[in-house]
Structure formats: structure tokens, C-alpha cells
């Protein structure tokens, strides 16, 4: 989805409807764009994070043990390595 942010496990349209140019620092050329977040987008992301963590870290993420969180983060790291060229 163009002009969107990934919030609360889903793509949500940005309320600003503006983009930010993504510039290749080695060439100075624009090669993509990303959605510019607004205060409302930030509030939405913070609300989603608080629900996931729980106010006292008793939400789904906070309820996981350190070992379980570590495994998930390692899995995420492996996915980043596997797709590093796409993400670069």
C-alpha cells in the first residue's frame, strides 16, 4: 500500500497524505518515497505498541519470556539477512 505505515500488524493509510523522498547517499538521486507520518499516525502507533506491551509490560510481548523474545528477535534478524539486498 502506497503512502502507508505498518501499525498494529497491518498497513494503515497515512493521515498526512504526503511522501518523503528516499535518496541514495552515494548518488544523491531519489529512488523511492515513504509516507510522512503525522501526529495522528504517531498516536496510532503508540497506542498499538501500548496494547502489545501492556501498560506494565503484561501484554503479548511482555508476557513472553526473555528466551521467547530472544528467539523471535533472532528469527527477525535472520529474515533481514536473507532479504538484505531487497531491504538495502
Let me know if 35 is exposed, middle or buried by CB neighbors in 10 A (0-12, 13-18, 19+): buried
Residue 53, phi then psi, degrees to nearest 5 = -85, -30
pLDDT-derived band at 17, boundaries 50, 70, 90: confident
The confidence score (pLDDT) of residue 59 equals: 72
3-state secondary structure of 4: strand
Does the reported pTM lie above 0.85? no
**1 and 12 within one domain:** yes
Look at residue 1 in the predicted model and tell me its pLDDT: 67
Range(s) of the domain holding residue 30: 1-53
- Does 32 lie in the same domain as 4? yes
Could you report the per-residue pLDDT of 30-87, keeping only the tens digit for each? Answer: 999 999 999 999 999 999 988 887 766 677 887 888 999 999 999 999 999 999 888 8
Same domain as 62, residue 48: no
C-alpha cell at 48: 498499538
Within this chain, do residues 3 and 35 fall inside the same structural domain, yes or no? Answer: yes
What secondary structure does DSSP assign to 21-62, as a single string?
A: EEE-TTT--EEEEEEPP-HHHHHHHHHHHHHHH-TTS-SHHH
pLDDT, residue 55, reads 67
pLDDT at 69: 92
Phi and psi torsions of 31, nearest 5°: -120, -5
Amino acid at each position: 500500500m502506497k503512502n502507508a505505515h505498518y501499525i498494529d500488524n497491518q498497513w494503515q493509510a497515512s493521515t498526512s497524505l504526503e511522501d518523503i523522498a528516499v535518496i541514495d547517499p552515494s548518488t544523491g538521486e531519489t529512488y523511492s518515497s515513504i509516507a510522512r507520518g503525522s501526529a495522528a499516525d504517531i498516536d496510532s502507533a503508540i497506542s498499538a505498541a501500548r496494547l502489545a506491551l501492556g501498560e506494565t509490560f503484561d501484554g503479548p510481548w511482555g508476557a513472553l519470556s526473555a528466551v521467547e523474545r530472544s528467539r523471535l528477535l533472532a528469527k527477525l534478524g535472520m529474515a533481514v539477512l536473507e532479504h538484505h539486498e531487497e531491504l538495502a
